[in-house]
Structure 1
Amino acid sequence: MYGLFEDEDDIFMGSPKSKLMDVIFNANNDVVRYELEKFIDRAAAMEMMMRERCSDKFSDNGDEIEKEIKSYILTNRDEIDSFSKNLYIEMMGAILSQSE
Structure 2
Amino acid sequence: MSKYSALFEDEDDVFLGSPTSKLMDIMFNANNDVVRFDLENFMKKRAAMELLLEEHLGEDFLSKVDQFIVSNQDEVGTKLKSLSIELMGEIVSKSE
Identity %: 47
1:52 maps onto 2:55 in alignment: yes
What's the offset of the Cα at 1:66? 1.5
Give RMSD over aligned pairs: 2.1
Structure 1: unaligned runs, 5 residues or longer: 2-6
Q: State TM-score, norm by structure 2.
A: 0.83
1:25 maps onto 2:28 in alignment: yes
Whole-angstrom CA distance in 1 between matches of 2:13 and 2:86: 19
Structure 2: unaligned runs, 5 residues or longer: 2-8
Max Rg structure: 1
Aligned to 1:74: 70
Whole-angstrom CA distance in 2 between matches of 1:45 and 1:18: 26
Which consecutive segments of 4 or more residues in structure 1 shift more than 4 A?
A: none
Aligned residues: 90
Q: State TM-score, norm by structure 1.
A: 0.80
